[in-house]
Every structure is written in structure tokens, then in C-alpha cells.
């Protein structure tokens, strides 16, 4: 886990340095931009003039999975295939560090600049990514506005007086949770929750056994929003009967789109969790 942490940090630094060199190349010329990643889709759509958006991924079209579905319908769509991307004749491509490696590899062999962004792991990462994309699309003002709005909303929540911090844990499909060094962890902390996965020194997206969840009797159990989707083995763990029997645990669902990517949605995530935290704190002190 530590090794992974370290490697991710290196990747992040590499990505940003790649970005800076790429930025100097593309600064004046980016007019047709393609995005290959859900998170970069969002930043591109929010910050760039629509005319500059050559295409975004099909994932952004889904209202349950994307924060910018209404914006995405207005632009061309790609499925991450190298042929489609090249056919769009972009002069800049934004991708995630875990996006289709083969397509990205292919693109790098062309003259098209490819800038990769890793998954944001903190508020500072989010701010930096917004700044970077804003610079690339020559919309620095919009970028600053976005950052200010996010900061303002989060600060408002962080400033609230708190009598206590309810304990919380995130339970994702396959028993995964969010631990130290993740954006979601920082969101939970900002919202006034005490993430027990962080306390137990679970890194990144490690696993948490149901036993541990049950025996800690957390105040708030956060699960992924269950879409009315096709059956999934992974969500079965979330329907284990023991969860409904933990009478003192409140179960709330959070759609992944609110905290998987860096954007204004993270402020909404903080606000939502704060509402829950305050509610729980009120209940407990009222007892």
C-alpha cells in the first residue's frame, strides 16, 4: 500500500511536470481539445468555450454518473478509441493516468500533445488541476472563479462550530473503503466526520471487512448510490442483512460523481455530508 502511495505521488508529480512542458507548447494554440476521461471531461466542459471542445467521452452523457450531462449533450462524443480521436483532428488531448493505456500510447506517438491528469487526492490537487486546465484552454478567469466558489462553500462548512465529530466509514462494492490520502477522506473530514478507515490507517482505497464496520458501530455508513442498474455481484455485500440490523448506524448514500472527480461537485459533497453530520450530532447531544 505504501509503495502504491509513493508511486502515485511520483505519477502525480510527473503528470504535472509533463503538463507544464506541454502547457508551454500548447498555450497559444489549443483550439480543438479532446478529453478521454470523465474527470477531465468535466473540467473541459466547465472551463472551455464550447467551440474549443472537439469531443468528450460517452461517460459524461449519463446523468447518474456525470455532473455535466447537460453540457455534454451539446458536444461530440468519443468512446476512447484512438481512431475516433485522430479523426477529430485535435490539437490537445486531456487524459487520466489510468485512461485506456493503448489509445494514449498511440496518441503519444503522434505529434498531438497529450496531457495526463492523475486522480485528485486532496483539495489542493483539485485547485491545481482547475488552474492547469484553465490555463490550457485560456480561461484563467473562469478557473479562478470556480476555485473561489469551491473554497467559499467549503470554508463555510468548515467554520461551523461542532460539538462532536460523528464516526463514519465509506463502504463501496467489494468491501472497498476510502482511507488516508484520498479526496473523499478530506471531504469527510471537512464535513465534520471522523473517518474510521483513516484512523485504522487504511490507505487509499483499501478493503474493510464488514466485521470491522459492525463492531465499530459507526454513526454514519456511506454507501455508493445504488443505481437502478443491472445486477452486480459487488453490490451484494452492501445488502448484507447485518447492515440493516445496526440500529444505531445511519446509512446514507452518496453518488460517486460527487467525489470521484475534482470540480465544484466536491463542495456539494461536503455540504451534503455536513448536513448528515450535524443531524447526527444534534441527535446524539439531544439524548
Candidate list 151, 232, 253, 283; residue touching other proteins; CB under 8 A: 232
Question: Could you tell me which of 73, 88, 111, 1 has the C-alpha nearest to residue 36?
Answer: 88
Question: In angstroms, what is the minimal distance from the CB of 239 to other proteins?
Answer: 9
Nearer to other proteins, 32 or 216 (CB): 216
- Selection from 8, 94, 81, 9 nearest residue 46 by Cα: 94
The single residue among 9, 234, 282, 284 that binds other proteins, judged by CB under 8 A, is 234
**In this complex, which beta carbon is closest to other proteins, that of residue 109 or of residue 233?**
233
**Contact by Cβ (8 Å): 167, 149:** no
Q: Which stretch binds other proteins (CB under 8 A): 39-47, 151-159, 223-231, 267-275?
A: 223-231
Lay out the site mask for other proteins across 197-216 (x = CB under 8 A, - = otherwise): ---------xx-xxxx-xxx
User: How many whole angstroms separate alpha carbon 158 and alpha carbon 220?
Assistant: 19
Instruction: List the Cα angle 159/178/211 in 5-degree steps.
Output: 115
Written as one string, the DSSP assignment of 122-158 is: SHHHHHHHHHHHHHHTT-HHHHHHHHHHHHHHHHHHH
Shortest gap between Cβ of 2 and other proteins (angstroms)? Answer: 12
Residues 242-261, one symbol each (x = binds other proteins by CB under 8 A, - = not), give: x--xxx--------------
User: What mask of x and - would describe binding to other proteins in positions 156 to 175, judged by CB under 8 A?
Assistant: -----------------xxx
Using CB under 8 A, pick the residue from 74, 228, 233, 285 that binds other proteins: 233
76 sits near other proteins (criterion: CB under 8 A) = no
Torsion sign over Cα 254, 257, 259, 263: negative
Query: Are the C-beta atoms of residues 184 and 254 closer than 8 Å to each other?
Result: no
Q: Is 212 exposed, middle or buried (0-12, 13-18, 19+ CB in 10 A)?
A: middle
Min CB(286)–other proteins separation in Å: 23
Sites for other proteins among residues 11-70 (CB under 8 A): none
* Beta-carbon contacts of residue 94 (< 8 Å; ≥ 6 apart): 33, 34, 35, 36, 37, 40, 43, 44, 114, 115, 117, 133, 136
Instruction: Give the nearest distance from C-beta 175 to other proteins in angstroms.
Output: 6
Nearer to other proteins, 48 or 168 (CB): 168
* Residues engaged in binding other proteins (CB under 8 A): 173-175, 206-207, 209-212, 214-217, 229-234, 237, 240-242, 245-247
Amino acid at each position: 500500500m505504501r509503495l502504491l502511495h509513493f508511486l502515485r505521488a511520483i505519477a502525480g508529480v510527473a503528470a504535472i511536470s509533463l503538463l507544464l512542458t506541454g502547457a508551454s507548447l500548447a498555450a497559444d494554440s489549443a483550439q480543438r481539445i479532446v478529453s478521454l476521461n470523465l474527470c477531465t471531461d468535466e473540467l473541459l466542459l466547465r472551463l472551455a468555450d464550447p467551440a474549443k471542445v472537439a469531443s468528450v467521452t460517452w461517460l459524461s452523457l449519463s446523468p447518474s454518473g456525470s455532473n455535466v450531462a447537460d453540457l455534454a449533450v451539446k458536444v461530440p462524443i468519443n468512446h476512447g478509441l484512438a481512431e475516433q480521436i485522430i479523426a477529430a483532428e485535435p490539437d490537445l488531448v486531456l487524459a487520466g493516468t489510468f485512461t485506456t493505456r493503448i489509445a494514449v500510447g498511440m496518441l503519444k506517438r503522434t505529434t498531438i500533445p497529450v496531457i495526463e491528469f492523475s486522480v485528485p487526492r486532496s483539495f489542493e490537487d483539485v485547485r491545481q488541476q482547475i488552474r492547469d486546465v484553465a490555463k490550457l484552454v485560456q480561461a484563467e478567469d473562469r478557473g479562478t472563479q470556480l476555485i473561489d466558489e469551491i473554497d467559499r462553500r467549503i470554508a463555510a462548512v468548515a467554520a461551523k462550530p461542532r460539538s462532536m465529530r460523528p464516526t463514519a466509514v465509506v463502504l463501496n462494492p467489494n468491501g472497498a473503503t476510502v482511507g488516508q490520502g484520498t479526496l473523499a477522506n478530506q471531504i469527510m473530514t471537512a464535513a465534520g466526520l471522523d473517518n474510521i478507515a483513516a484512523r485504522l490507517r487504511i490507505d487509499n482505497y483499501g478493503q474493510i471487512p464488514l466485521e470491522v464496520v459492525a463492531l465499530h458501530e459507526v454513526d454514519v455508513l456511506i454507501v455508493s448510490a445504488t443505481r437502478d442498474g443491472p445486477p452486480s455481484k459487488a453490490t451484494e455485500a452492501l445488502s448484507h442483512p447485518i447492515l440493516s440490523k445496526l440500529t444505531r448506524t445511519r446509512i446514507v448514500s452518496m453518488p460517486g460523481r460527487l467525489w470521484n472527480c475534482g470540480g465544484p461537485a466536491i463542495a456539494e459533497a461536503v455540504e451534503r455530508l455536513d448536513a448528515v453530520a450535524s443531524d447526527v450530532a444534534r441527535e446524539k447531544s439531544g439524548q
